[in-house]
Amino acid sequence: MRKLLVMDKKIVFITGISRGIGLEIAKCFVNDDYFVIGTSRSPFRINEELNSESCIHFIMDVTDREQISSCFNELKKINKIPNVLINNAGITKDQLFLRMKEDDWDDVLNSNLTSVFNITKLFIKSMVRHRYGKIINISSVAGLMGNPGQVNYSASKAGMGGFTRALAKEVAARNITVNCIAPGFIETDMTNHFQDEELENILNQIPANKMGNPQQIADLALFLASSKGDYITGQTISVDGGLYMS
């Protein structure tokens, strides 16, 4: 009987799974026969939401290194160390820079950028040892073009791009890819609050003249996690209807 290789074990770890893009990514991966490990700060009925038993949820704060370590140890006990890591969790605390509080800066940088270091540092060790892995960081077009009132958020997402490129160069020879997906305006809970005038102004900036949907982000994540994405690494791929063109 052929020994099961690590790349045959389809196990994905997704942070920020309880809604929006994270939840859609989880549904996409579980439908492709992945075992899905999801995290969020609050309780979440993952089996009901994904309609599957091939998943498990951990309540975890991505800024808390002790909680991350505890989660990792639990996964070792049940032999579910992932070979695909998706850093999706993030927050916004928007404010004009002159009015931005120090805590608003610290919280956003810690949640959006330092968390990526915290989690990747633990899980990449197994990938290096097995010479296989996929790391996908969910960034934002704000990290490429900047947004007024989002100096903290834009900086955190731009930092994620630098993190991705540098790490990709370090681990490419180990058959590990590291990429960013930079969504533009996507229809989620975070965009539902726009008033009609605000929405019209946004759509006028997008050549496609429409918002994207979480499924489009999930489909790209699944592609990058598959063997079809083996020769793509160190990239930030925008999914934004043409809002930002480099």
Quick: pLDDT tens for 10-40. Answer: 999 999 999 999 999 999 999 999 999 999 9
Give strand ranges (E) for 20-169: 35-40, 55-59, 84-87, 133-138
Phi and psi at 180, nearest 5°, equal -115, 140
Q: Please compute the mean of the pLDDT values over residues 193-217 and round it to a whole number.
A: 87
C-beta separation of 104 from 95 below 8 A? yes
**Full domain range(s) for residue 55:** 8-239
- CA 53, 29, 186, 43: dihedral to nearest 10 degrees? 30
Distance CA 92, CA 109 (A): 10
What is the percent of the chain with per-residue pLDDT over 90, rounded to a whole number?
Answer: 88
Q: Which of 132, 153, 231, 244 is catalytic?
A: 153
Q: Which of 64, 75, 69 is nearest to 114 (CA)?
A: 64
The answer to whether position 244 is within a domain reads no
Segment 126-176, tens digit of pLDDT: 999 999 999 999 999 999 999 999 999 999 999 999 999 999 999 999 999
Which amino acid, 225?
A: A
The answer to whether position 52 is within a domain reads yes
The answer to whether position 79 is within a domain reads yes
> pLDDT confidence of 6, banded at 50, 70, 90?
low
pLDDT surpasses 60 at 121: yes
H/E run at residue 224: helix 214-225
pLDDT surpasses 50 at 101: yes
The answer to whether position 217 is within a domain reads yes
153 given a catalytic annotation: yes
Q: Which of 3, 20, 70 is nearest to 186 (CA)?
A: 20
Q: What confidence score (pLDDT) does residue 9 get?
A: 84
- The domain total for the chain is 1
pLDDT surpasses 80 at 7: no
Query: What's the mean per-residue pLDDT of the chain?
Result: 94
Q: Which of 84, 30, 85, 82 is nearest to 55 (CA)?
A: 30
Q: At what angle do helices 151-171 and 102-109 cross, to 10 degrees?
A: 30
Segment 37-93, tens digit of pLDDT: 999 999 999 999 999 999 999 999 999 999 999 999 999 999 999 999 999 999 999
The answer to whether position 66 is within a domain reads yes
Q: What confidence score (pLDDT) does residue 191 get?
A: 67
> pLDDT confidence of 8, banded at 50, 70, 90?
low
C-beta separation of 137 from 13 below 8 A? no
Coil, strand, or helix at residue 217? Answer: helix
Check which CATH number belongs to the domain holding 90 and give it: 3.40.50.720
The answer to whether position 156 is within a domain reads yes
Q: What confidence score (pLDDT) does residue 3 get?
A: 43
pLDDT surpasses 80 at 2: no
The answer to whether position 127 is within a domain reads yes
